[in-house]
Structure 1
Amino acid sequence: MASNDLRERAGPWKRAASFAELLTLTARFLRGEPIGFPGWAVEETDEESDGLLPVLLAANGAGMLSVASQPGAPFGPGHDGWSWGGRAFVGGFARSEDARSIRDRAEAAGLWARDGASDGPFEIPAGLRDGSPYLVLGSDARDEELSLFDGEVGAGALAELRETSFLWVIDPVWGRRERLRAAF
């Protein structure tokens, strides 16, 4: 792809003036519109995210701009012969009132909802390989995920994004896939 194509597709993101516009653009990206996603330099969702598209679109509709996710994976032999498994999760930005609402629904459904700002430091394994964590969700993810948008979205949108909470919604049951939707 020519660099002009990437710059053209970045246009809507660079013009975004609010968090609401970022949610709208994220929904367009999740629905397959070729506008890319800030910081990732990708044209479309990856195969792992494709299995979660209904959940990611529901999260977006509930006010959560998702930036990380994984479907649950039951334990079983992986490509290397070791046992692999994972917890389903979605992580992203939400305005405080939306984060509270998502958190309430998640907890009512037996899911974990964590925000580093209100819950303090935490680390939760979300992927195990032969019993050892290879993927850990934590309270320190916010700044790293926020950096994806720095210089990639309009100044107004970035300012509003900096005011949001960063929330993880995690299914505590290893391998379960269907429960995440209840949070959104």
Structure 2
Amino acid sequence: MDKRAALTETLPHVMRYARALTRNADTAEDLLHDCVGRALSRLHLFEAGTNMRAWLFTIMHNIHRQNLRQSSRRPRTDSLTDELAERIGREADQNDKLMLRDFERALGELPDDQRHVILLVGLEDMSYQETADVLEIPVGTVMSRLARARAKLRQAMDGNGKPNLRSVK
């Protein structure tokens, strides 16, 4: 498979990661465009036989980090709920939607370093080593951030996976 075909095949994963990073469809498209543009301009640097997805995620992560530094705020207007419901493979019922909303909120409250790890390992199904390569951190750091993120998500979801509902009087 040639490099351009490998890049094209990986785009759905890269777009999903962009949406998860930015939490905004328009910003995600801009991030994807920047990532693909940079990747195409540097395609000659990609080593055949290595992981195209990890290479693109590294580029995207670096662009996103640069964008955050240049911006004073992070957009949080769009929701991952529809994306997560689609990944489940069926129309989510009301309870599922509430759980997804609570999960999305808890995910958004994680520190960026923990959120990036949980997105790469959990959503993108990357290995610890691939995640470490993308984020340019040691594997042990991936493992500790992942453990902390999972613990915080479990705590936020009340440990039982039920939506956090409040009483209205």
Could you state the TM-score of these two structures normalised by the residue count of structure 1? 0.27
Higher share of residues assigned helix: 2
Tell which has more relative contact order, 1 or 2 (C-alpha 8 A, sep 6+).
1
Could you state the TM-score of these two structures normalised by the residue count of structure 2? 0.29
